[in-house]
Amino acid sequence: MAINLTVILKSKPENTVIVKSLLLELVEKSTQEAACEQYDLHQNCDDANTFIFHEIWENQNGLDSHNQQSYIQSFFEKAKTLLQETPIVFRTDKLA
């Protein structure tokens, strides 16, 4: 069963350019994973410090594998000092 995620990240204002660059690298690498069905990155038009991922993973094993990738773990280690707050993750069921 597909896993749908929405992830919201807020960079510190002084780190927005760095965070955006790192997130674009995540897109490049994540979309190459076999279990990745969708991995879209958005930036809030009214608050450039806010980034939103819309992700679809083939199944839980695929998501688990993604979360174990060295580049994901490296990003979240760096994120501790670059982000305003802990990322918010919503796991959802598509209704329509």
What are 53-76's pLDDT values in tens digits? 999 999 999 999 999 999 999 999
Q: pLDDT band for 87, please (50, 70, 90 cuts).
A: very high
pLDDT at 60: 97
What are 13-53's pLDDT values in tens digits? 999 999 999 999 999 999 999 999 999 999 999 999 999 99
| Tokens at 67, concatenated | 């979360």
Full set of structural domains in the chain with CATH: 3-92 (3.30.70.100)
Please provide the DSSP assignment of 53-66 as one string.
EEEEESSHHHHHHH
pTM of the model: 0.94
- Among 87, 60, 63, smallest CA distance to 76 is for 87
